[in-house]
Copies of this chain bind each other. A is one copy, B any other.
Amino acid sequence: MFIKIGERINSSRPPIARALRSKDEAFIRKEARLQKEAGAAMLDINCAVDSKDEARDMEWLAGIVQKETGLPLSIDSPNPKAIEAGLRKHKGKALVNSVTVEKGRADSILPFVKKYNAQVIILTMDEKGMPATAGDRASLAERALKLAEGHHISKQDIYIDPLIRPISSEQKQAFEVIESVKLIKAKYGLKVICGLSNVSFGLPERSTLNSVFLAMMLGAGLDAAILDPTDKKIKAVLRASDALLAGDDFCKEYLKSYRSGELK
């Protein structure tokens, strides 16, 4: 079953940065509720941009978002302290977003993943930077698996993120990412996740590109994505793909969406 992770509680979005600064709990709760109602199974929280005390902000976010929704969270930060603060506050099984295959970075965060029995997103990136081809991404996924196993993290708690770059700057990369999903799943049986909206950065009508790329990635075998579950075109793709991948018995939810005019 495909996992939808809501991306909206991220301080790179100005309204979220404002709510964080003024500790506007009602606004954060509303953003959390909206995404849960749109079908998110998990919510990403990120306060890296514009935070004076990221660990405290992360703890604050984790508390109110879980209180409002009861959903598990994706604790999203480049900062090991903020990740640990989020994990300490979190109830149930969290997702740590993210580590890379760089040894230093992985070793500073993977012990928390183990300690708090969390899941983890590992980016296909090492000291040498971003990978160019599907094959490079698959090799990095294999290294990611070994690294996590070295910390006694089990395979089903790992998600590989093959790192999508904007097609506006590197047009061949979307194809390489799609091919890498097939390779990583076929060769290593690892789960694959992606942060969707990066692909369309710098282009107009991003919702079209994001939703079509999502469907293509689902066809390649994507297991989870961080996306805006309230976006109309993304909702239509997820509704249709649930029906197509037999995740929606007798197409009941699809028919309900049709009757309410959501598929137009």
- Classify chain A's interface size: 35 or more
Which residues of chain A (228-264) have a CB below 8 Å from chain B?
236-237, 239-241, 243-246, 249-251, 254-255, 258, 263-264
A217 to chain B, nearest CB (A): 6
Flag if A251 contacts B168 (CB, 8 Å): yes
**Distance A234 CA – B236 CA, assembled complex (angstroms):** 14
Most interface-central of A168, A205, A209, A212 (chain B CB within 10 A): A212
In chain A, residues 175-198, which have Cβ atoms closer than 8 Å to a Cβ of chain B?
Answer: 175, 178, 182, 186
- Closest chain B residue to A174, Cβ basis: B244
Q: Is the CB of B219 within 8 A of A216?
A: yes
Contacts of A236 in B (CB 8 A): 208, 212
Q: Contacts A251-B168, A255-B204, A263-B205: A175 and B244 contacting too (C-beta < 8 A)?
A: yes
A212 pairs with B237, CB closer than 8 A: yes
- Give the docked Cα–Cα distance between A200 and B219 (Å): 17
Interface 1/0 per residue, A55-82 and B, CB below 8 Å: 0000000000000000000000000000
| CA of A263 to CA of B75, assembled, Å | 34
Point out which of A186, A215, A237, A245 has the most chain B C-beta atoms below 10 A from its C-beta.
A215
Taking a contact as CB atoms under 8 Å apart, the answer to whether A240 and B171 are in contact is no
Query: In the assembly, what is the distance between CA of A25 and CA of B245, in Å?
Result: 42
**Cβ of A203 under 8 Å from chain B:** yes
Q: Are A203 and B244 in contact (CB under 8 A)?
A: no
Contact of A219 among B178, B205, B209, B249 (CB under 8 A): B178
Q: How far is the CA of A223 from the CA of B113 in the complex (A)?
A: 42
A167 interface hit (Cβ, 8 Å):
yes
List 24 A–B pairs whose Cβ atoms lie within 8 Å, in order of A's numbering. A167-B244, A167-B251, A171-B243, A171-B250, A171-B251, A174-B245, A175-B245, A178-B245, A182-B186, A204-B255, A204-B258, A205-B263, A208-B240, A209-B243, A212-B236, A212-B240, A212-B241, A213-B240, A213-B244, A215-B216, A216-B218, A216-B241, A219-B220, A220-B220
Q: Which residues of A contact B (CB under 8 A)?
A: 167-168, 171-172, 174-175, 178, 182, 186, 199, 203-205, 208-209, 212-213, 215-221, 236-237, 239-241, 243-246, 249-251, 254-255, 258, 263-264
Known: A175-B244, A199-B244. 16 other contacts (CB 8 A): A167-B243, A167-B251, A171-B250, A174-B244, A182-B186, A203-B243, A203-B255, A204-B258, A205-B263, A208-B239, A209-B240, A212-B236, A212-B244, A213-B244, A215-B216, A216-B241
